[in-house]
Amino acid sequence: MVGFYNYTVILTYMSLVSSITGMFFTFTGHLSIGILCLALSGLFDAFDGKVARSKKDRTMDEKRFGIQIDSLCDLVSFGVFPVVLCWYSGMNTPFGMVILALYCLAGMIRLAYYNVLEEKKNNDDDDAEVIEQPDGRKYFHGMPITAISVGLPIIYVTSPLLGSSFPILLHGIMILAMILFITDFRYPKPTTKELMVIIVIVAVAVVWLMIRYMVRRHIITIPYFISLLL
């Protein structure tokens, strides 16, 4: 069979499947479910590298395969998928189209650039876009494309407070993300504790979006949900 098949790629594949599923939901008007799928893709991606490195007998070809599929998955999950979500969230204007196209282009350039650096390195277990400082703290070169899987769910939670201003904020966020993807500055890599805090925050945002979705679809009512909590 073509390809490499072992447990090290399972989370990467799950991230891609989650994003494709989220696109299907978004196309059919279930935007909140789409946001949930984006958050899940980010969660899977956060741990796929740790899982891959747990296999000590990986061949060089398996390592290179992992690098390529990770980048291809990231382009779909955190490049194309956010574009779909934003298009259905109000960025469906000529100006919005330009921003979203440039956002996806910037994400692709970033992923391709660090793939090239990975190929030039001797140790493929180290991430080319991560640098370690003398104090032991690790930093990304610029903002990783996966950061959008945290940013968008949190932004969508605030959408009821913003009202008609939400699309304006969305335009600004996507422009900022596009610039940060290809700007070389030190972006601190979350420690394990910080990662857990981020996961909890995103989980709360996802739960809130799910509640909103079920209330708007009349699956549950607010009094019923409160009764469940009590």
What are 186's strand-pairing partners? 141
Average pLDDT score over residue span 105-131: 77
d(CA 181, CA 86): 18
Total domains present in the chain: 1
CATH of the domain at 125: 1.20.120
Please report which confidence band the pLDDT of residue 24 belongs to, taking 50, 70 and 90 as the band edges.
very high
Please report which confidence band the pLDDT of residue 133 belongs to, taking 50, 70 and 90 as the band edges.
low
Least confident span in 38-47, 139-148, 212-221: 212-221
Predicted confidence at residue 71, as pLDDT, reads 92
| Nearest-10 crossing angle of helices 31-53, 192-216 | 160
Owning domain of residue 176: 7-229
Please report which confidence band the pLDDT of residue 218 belongs to, taking 50, 70 and 90 as the band edges.
low
The answer to whether 78 touches 148, Cβ cutoff 8 Å, is yes
Residue 203 lies in a domain: yes
Residue 120 lies in a domain: yes
Q: What is the pTM of this model?
A: 0.85
d(CA 133, CA 113): 21
Mean pLDDT of the chain: 84
Q: How confident is the model over 41-84, as pLDDT tens digits?
A: 999 998 887 887 787 878 888 888 888 899 999 999 999 999 99
- DSSP-derived letter for residue 92 is -
d(CA 84, CA 100): 9
Q: How confident is the model over 168-204, as pLDDT tens digits?
A: 999 999 999 999 999 988 878 877 788 888 888 888 8
Residue 1 lies in a domain: no
